[in-house]
């Protein structure tokens, strides 16, 4: 049974990012490949996850960052072939699964509690 599961995972889902434990409020860095003309290069997008939707293998997550004073959001699919690496920088603790209220906050109010070694750190 495990051989069949491994075969299906490798054949139809070569991307193993769906095993990551991503939650809303986590600060992550997504490294993805973009095409500029005929050249390919890696670009990183560092921000906070504000929404996760979908089922276990096929899900999307929305990452928000502040660039200057403008908020920028990107939606990534976990099976997107251009994603090369996902780093979880900090695990955040929020009460809601979709933190849309985070869009309205600025400065110190936009701070999320960080979980470190199962303790809250401010």
Domains of the chain, each with CATH number or no CATH = 2-121 (2.30.30.790)
The pLDDT assigned to 15 comes to: 60
pLDDT at 61 over 90: yes
The pLDDT assigned to 76 comes to: 93
The pLDDT assigned to 14 comes to: 56
Give residue 117's pLDDT band: very low, low, confident or very high (50, 70, 90).
low
Per-residue buried b or exposed e for 51-74, using 16+ beta carbons within 10 Å of the residue's own CB: bbeeeeeeeebbbbeeeeeebeee
pLDDT mean across residues, the chain = 84
pLDDT greater at residue 95 or residue 45? 45
């Amino acid at each position: 049974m495990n051989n069949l599961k491994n075969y299906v995972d490798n054949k139809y889902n070569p991307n193993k990012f769906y095993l990551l434990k991503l939650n809303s409020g986590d600060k992550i860095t997504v490294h993805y490949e973009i095409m500029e003309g005929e050249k390919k290069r890696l670009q990183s997008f560092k921000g906070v996850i504000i929404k996760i939707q979908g089922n276990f293998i096929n899900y999307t997550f929305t990452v928000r960052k502040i660039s200057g004073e403008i908020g920028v959001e990107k939606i990534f699919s976990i099976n997107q072939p251009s994603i090369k690496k996902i780093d979880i920088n900090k695990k955040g603790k929020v009460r809601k699964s979709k933190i849309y209220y985070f869009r309205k906050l600025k400065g110190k109010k936009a701070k999320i509690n960080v979980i470190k070694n199962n303790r809250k750190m401010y």
